[in-house]
Amino acid sequence: MKLDTKLIIKETLKVIRGSTSQEKLNHKMDFNFNQVYRWESGTTKISWQEFASFCEYCDLDLFNNVKDLRFFSKMNNANDICALFNYFQTNSSLDDLATQMGFTRHKLSRWLKEDSNPYLEQVLQALNIYPGLVYAFISRIVDIEKSPTLYKLFENEYKRNNLSNKYPVVSFFLNLMHSNYYKSLPSIETGFFSKIFDITVEEESEILKTLEECKVITVQNNKYMMKEYDIFIFSEEPGVKKKRREFFFQNISESLRSQDFENSKNNSFRYMIFSSTKEKNERIKEVMSKAHNDINAILSEDTAGELLENVSIVASEFVTIVDTTKNNLS
């Protein structure tokens, strides 16, 4: 998705500056010329360090506002932007990451070594490799509704994240739509999702309608399908992730207590997980036979929670998640 980064930066700086005049802010930052105007107009690009300083002089705590986003979780302070690129490189080679972000290998290498300082525009370009991450970042530092321009640019993300804050189960809707089990269904009826996720039909309708308005899903062959499967980064309010984890733990642990996997067809949530193949059912039984602790207690461990938060919970991958969790807790 192509973003108008210059417009985003211009509007973000204006919202952060608030009622403080450019002249007053220039004076606070010890500029004897209108540097703030140059940044806001795009005449001069603002570097990440300059942006961090800009936020500080505007009494905005940049570090504490973004540190809970997992891509910024390795930052030690607001200036430590190389931690962002280090995070991205965890699962990618330098060459692949440079190609994906649209930078040269040399430039990316210098940022990782802290030999040079990226512009804020380049940071946004890097974040844009994941849908929704630019919005997640911007919405952490400014109120999108204070800028009609920003709201228009991020309207779909804004609606989608409000939906996720209201209904933590939204991400499970998207994961289910991507599963082989769901794709194999010829069609679905109203109430399909509400039965699986224990919500009302009205709530199901609101979720599906909003996701369709946000162009995340579309109707194909009498059922909802994702337009394209990708990682959606939700800029959620505090506590939403915890609610979603609790929902996951409760339903999964209940399913795992089932002694007869064949009878799991009576529960649509269990059936979604265990109906893939007989071989996988046997693997699950084998894993469970070796477990000496209650599975719910195991999955509720903080370390397991952190692991699961970074995994796309898809039914066909559930056995791998259990195995990985067990190994990490051993």
The pLDDT value recorded for residue 143 is 92
- For residue 267, count other CB atoms closer than 10 A to its CB: 17
- Torsion 272-276-277-279 (CA) sign: negative
Average pLDDT over residues 244-265: 48
With a cut of 60, say whether residue 237 has pLDDT above it: no
pTM (two decimals)? 0.68
The pLDDT value recorded for residue 281 is 56
Instruction: Tell me which of 54-63, 184-193, 261-270 is least confident.
Output: 261-270
CA dihedral 183, 187, 192, 197 (to 10 degrees): 10
- What mean pLDDT is reported for the chain? 77
Q: What is the pLDDT of residues 95-118, one digit of tens each?
A: 998 998 999 999 999 999 989 999
With a cut of 50, say whether residue 258 has pLDDT above it: no
Q: What is the pLDDT of residues 133-146, one digit of tens each?
A: 899 899 999 999 99
Rounded Cα gap, residues 37 and 23, in angstroms = 9
Tell me how far CA of residue 173 lies from CA of 121, 216, 232, 237, in angstroms: 33, 11, 12, 19
Q: What is the pLDDT of residues 1-20, one digit of tens each?
A: 578 999 999 999 999 999 99
Start-to-end C-alpha separation, the chain = 42
With a cut of 70, say whether residue 126 has pLDDT above it: yes
SS3 call for 310 = coil
The pLDDT value recorded for residue 10 is 96
The pLDDT value recorded for residue 270 is 46
The pLDDT value recorded for residue 227 is 76
The pLDDT value recorded for residue 105 is 93
Phi, psi values for residue 98, rounded to 5°: -60, -45
More confident residue, 150 or 92: 150
Confidence of residue 248 (pLDDT cuts 50, 70, 90): low
Q: What is the pLDDT of residues 259-278, one digit of tens each?
A: 443 444 444 444 444 444 45
With a cut of 70, say whether residue 302 has pLDDT above it: no
The pLDDT value recorded for residue 267 is 47
Tell me how far CA of residue 323 lies from CA of 80, 279, 304, 320, in angstroms: 35, 15, 11, 5
SS3 call for 119 = strand
Give me the residue label for tokens 């380049």. Answer: 122
Q: Which of 128, 142, 140 is nearest to 10 (CA)?
A: 142
| Bridge partners, residue 219, by sequence | 224
- For residue 49, count other CB atoms closer than 10 A to its CB: 14
With a cut of 60, say whether residue 62 has pLDDT above it: yes
Structure tokens at 210: 């909003």
Instruction: Indicate the helix (H) or strand (E) that contains 321.
Output: helix 318-329
More confident residue, 161 or 318: 161
More confident residue, 190 or 328: 190
With a cut of 50, say whether residue 192 has pLDDT above it: yes
- Torsion 204-205-206-210 (CA) sign: positive
Q: What is the pLDDT of residues 39-53, one digit of tens each?
A: 999 999 999 999 999
Q: Which of 237, 235, 217, 234 is nearest to 226 (CA)?
A: 217
- For residue 177, count other CB atoms closer than 10 A to its CB: 18
Structure tokens at 231: 């990682």
Give one word for 18, left, alpha or beta, with left for phi > 0 and alpha for psi -120 to 50. Answer: left
The pLDDT value recorded for residue 210 is 92
With a cut of 50, say whether residue 26 has pLDDT above it: yes
The pLDDT value recorded for residue 173 is 84
Q: Side-chain half-sphere of 124: how many Cα atoms within 13 Å?
A: 22
CA 207 distance to own-chain centroid: 18
The DSSP code sequence of 273-308 is: HH-S-HHHHHHHHHHHHH--S-HHHHHTSHHHHHHH
With a cut of 50, say whether residue 308 has pLDDT above it: no
Q: Which domains does the chain have, with CATH numbers?
A: 5-153 (no CATH), 156-226 (1.10.10), 240-329 (no CATH)
